[in-house]
Structure 1
Amino acid sequence: MNILMMTNTYLPHIGGVARSVSTLARGLIQEGHQVLIIAPETYEGKTPSSCPNDPAVIRVPALKRTVGSGFSVPVRIPRSVAEAIDEFQPDIIHAHQPFLLGVEALRFAAKRGVPTVFTFHTRYDFYGQYVSLGAPGLRRVIVSLARGYCNLCQEVIAPSASARTHLREAGVKVPITVVPTGIDLEQYRQGCGDRGRRRWHISKDAFVAGHVGRLAAEKNIGYLIEGLCRFLTERQDARALIVGDGPMRPAMEDAFRLAGLADRVCFTGFLLGQDLATAYASMDVFAFASRSETQGLVLVEAMAAGVPVVALEAAGTRETVRSGENGTLLAPSASPEAFGRELQTYQAMSGECRSAMGDAARKTAAAFSSDTMVRQTISLYEGVCASALQRPKKSAAQFTVSQRLAFNIEITATVLSCIAKALMPGRKREQPGRPSGILVGSTPHQIDEREDAEPRFDPRH
């Protein structure tokens, strides 16, 4: 099977989506499929090639580090890219974002008469500061367009049951299949905590609360800072290990410095591969405060390393963390003080109890292997392609002027419909700091059923 993937974030950019796409692509190639990835240029440079199963990657021109972030924004699709796609002859197109290259994925699929699958990696209602410069009206439009995009695809992949429920409550009507992002379990089982502690100058006997992730507002980093400060202030023999980077790193460093804790907190920056596995192995408990996840990949990675998790109950955590077994799931309303006290509880545990929780964490992670993800995705691809067999593939040349016009009208109608609904007079305004569903401003009980009558593009037309 020839699988075309289109993504706005890919290696060497470090993030959950880039890693998910890379892991899936490599697994598909290992199973004998052909994969071509279309991704924007990045400021980090070209994708490092260190694996025989690395997919072919074509880069498109992009604006780099947009809106003060590490993300790139594609600005145009060169003719050579379209020619490469024609030569590749995809059987299916897998989009990983609904905007920018995601829209181009729909266009390419329409031209060639092949189905489109979309993975809902990101809760866009938590990312308004990047996509709309903080303007509430524009933010509502963006997240409403994400819902509309789902309904233009043949199938949507949700990384968790919570994400699927979120999409259904928001009005997504196409089939949704839950396929959790998988990881290389062996990699995280082989980390060496002693080596990591020597590397980051942490005593072998110190109790370490760790965190891995992008250090940005949408990850609830302000809450995490306060919780860790409370914990470290109460426990003089404890340390914090922070893996990752992002716009809030300076604020974190300042907060720990002002609290007199700077010498007990280590920032490593982004880590990959064995270095990341070593960082997890250096931790005694994993601290996670994000409420914006569709899955929470770092939770699975920590558990694969045998590290129990303290997290806030939310989508992306409730499927993974089981209180008293492999960690603790605190109520969403829990205060940072309560979060810090729970970390103290783990330090006070006996070594035998912590070891049992670590074993339970490893068992939980075993269900999230990359092999399982690849098998489930292949099965989904085969089902989607089987339903498309009755319609012949098209070449770009067969996509007539009238068909192109009809498609663009379909897209425009969907966009205008989403904008109108997002800005509809009388719609309940979202409360600051409390993003709601993919249709911001609506709760599951407030969604107007008339919103489901959205135009849907079908490549068969």
Structure 2
Amino acid sequence: MRSGDAVPRTGCEARGVNVNRMRPDPSATGSGRPLRVLLTTDWWEPVVNGVVASVQTLRRELLALGCDVRVLTLSQGIRTRNEDGVYRLGSVSASMVYDRARIGMPSGRRALRDILRWSPDVVHSQAEFSTFVWARRIARTLAVPLVHTYHTIYEDYTHYYSPSRTMGRKVVESFSRRVLSRTDAVIVPTTKVARLLAGYGVHRPLHVIPTGLDLDRFRPAGSEEEHADARALRAALGIGPRQRVLLSVSRLAKEKNLDEVLELISVADRADTVLVLVGEGPYRAELEARAQALGIADRVRFTGVVAPADIPRWYRMGDVFVGASLSETQGLTFIEAMASGLPLLCRRDPSLASVVVEGVTGWQFEGPAQFTARLNALLDDPRGRTQMAHAALEHARATCGAQEFGRSVLGVYQQARERRAPLLLGREAVPA
């Protein structure tokens, strides 16, 4: 990160920042019309992951702020189509590289012509591969800013493409530097990622803006109906009313480090606990075998695929949220758990420093002994756990709202447009 680069903070990293300064008028395009924003992403529904959640939240908030927003993404098949402002480019499967990944096909000229006629004022890319090529081409053709959100710490995924972690990191470093050099601004969810990119030699304005959360959707069980639903979920998994649920919501992939969670559960040896792994993925068979080998298979439940709309229900049936992943850029599931009133127990990671307030919203641990001690403290002190759950909920409400996320990203757009002001003024003199 260069000296002097703007790094506005908001959401979970806000500390005394006046967010009101970052509220540009979305109609301030010089022509009186709403700001047109094109979001590009390789990942979109029906896929469920952090990138999809982030982009969907951003789209909703930008629309609420009065922007005109469209999305360019990949179809689940070879046909290109446009539905409700979402352009889906034909693509083919790349699951041999990464589960459910897809590669865009060199088609979609009609979609490109339509987007160019619409003429976005800002292009905001959310992925570094297929749709980034389109994002760069559109931004360059229209001479508008290209903003990019760097969602993934790829060096934690080297096992997918390189037998050597050192070599894999060098590939990631070079690739990231090359891709980001073509952007006007880069958004990252945490200071950890900003420092990582600075270490890669990325010299673009870096803005730390954590993804906001829809706090109306993620909340503790309140009504009797919601409590009954939580009890029904437990019963369906064969979990008794006196057992405590340790919850993890995650794609079942190697980089999520769920092997370590299983080992920690085994070492803690709490017969009154059940670990519920919410999600599906290519590593499930290995995890099931590992649970069996550790002798804890009777205390581990795999839910399989869960519809995105049902995820809040699963948070509400938990007692403690656990995780050991070190591949998170922000840890959205930890924030969702916190907003659902769950104390956190997670492996120490700088990306979670603003989420886990030690002894208040939860604990970060290092090693099995510390995990066991923290878990025992949580489970053997129901009153303390209730207080921590309440504190987690309040912390999420105070720091991780979606509205601040949308306003702050809009502020980045405004800064990027101002840096390109001469080009933009010349472009807006031409009738749309």
* TM-score, normalised relative to structure 1: 0.77
Deviation at 1:131, TM superposition (A): 4.4
What SS does the corresponding residue of 1:188 show, helix, strand or coil?
coil
Deviation at 1:386, TM superposition (A): 2.7
Give the number of aligned pairs.
384
Q: 2:216 aligns with which of 164, 181, 186?
A: 186
- 8 Å Cα contact 2:220-2:339 kept in structure 1: no
What is the distance in 2 between the residues matched to 1:170 and 1:309?
31
Deviation at 1:103, TM superposition (A): 2.9
> Could you say which residue in structure 1 is the equivalent of 2:114?
84
- Alignment of 1:375 with 2:382, yes or no, is no
- 8 Å Cα contact 1:91-1:114 kept in structure 2: yes
What is the distance in 2 between the residues matched to 1:117 and 1:390?
18
Deviation at 1:184, TM superposition (A): 0.9
Q: Which amino acid aligns with 1:335?
A: G
Alignment of 1:206-355 (within 5 A): 206-231=243-268, 234-330=269-365, 334-349=366-381, 351-355=382-386
- 8 Å Cα contact 1:285-1:307 kept in structure 2: yes
What SS does the corresponding residue of 1:173 show, helix, strand or coil?
coil
Deviation at 1:306, TM superposition (A): 0.8
What is the distance in 2 between the residues matched to 1:46 and 1:348?
56
Deviation at 1:340, TM superposition (A): 3.9
User: CA-to-partner distance for each residue in 1:134-182, whole Å, 9 max, x for gaps?
Assistant: 6864652233211232222111111112222222233222111111111
> Could you say which residue in structure 2 is the equivalent of 1:417?
none
What is the distance in 2 between the residues matched to 1:216 and 1:250?
10
Identity of aligned residues (%): 29
User: CA-to-partner distance for each residue in 1:272-317, whole Å, 9 max, x for gaps?
Assistant: 4452111111111111111111101011000001101111221321
What is the distance in 1 between the residues matched to 2:75 and 2:219?
33
Q: Which amino acid aligns with 2:207?
A: T
Q: Which amino acid aligns with 1:86?
A: L
What is the distance in 2 between the residues matched to 1:60 and 1:18?
18
Indicate how the Cα distance of structure 1 residues 393 and 122 shifts in structure 2: closer, same or farther if over 3 A, else same: farther
User: CA-to-partner distance for each residue in 1:83-142, whole Å, 9 max, x for gaps?
Assistant: 122122111111112233213311221111111001011101111233457686465223
Q: Which amino acid aligns with 1:2?
A: R
Q: Which amino acid aligns with 1:241?
A: V
Deviation at 1:80, TM superposition (A): 1.7
- Alignment of 1:42 with 2:73, yes or no, is no
User: CA-to-partner distance for each residue in 1:354-381, whole Å, 9 max, x for gaps?
Assistant: 1110111112211111112111111221
Runs of 4+ aligned structure 1 residues displaced above 6 Å come to none
Q: 2:239 aligns with which of 193, 202, 205?
A: 202
Q: Which moved more, 1:287-296 or 1:267-276?
A: 267-276
What is the distance in 2 between the residues matched to 1:394 and 1:280?
51
- 8 Å Cα contact 2:153-2:328 kept in structure 1: yes
**Pairwise CA RMSD:** 2.5
User: 5+ unaligned residues in a row in structure 1: which ranges?
Assistant: 396-461
What SS does the corresponding residue of 2:412 show, helix, strand or coil?
helix
Deviation at 1:64, TM superposition (A): 4.3
- Alignment of 1:154 with 2:184, yes or no, is yes
Deviation at 1:196, TM superposition (A): 2.9
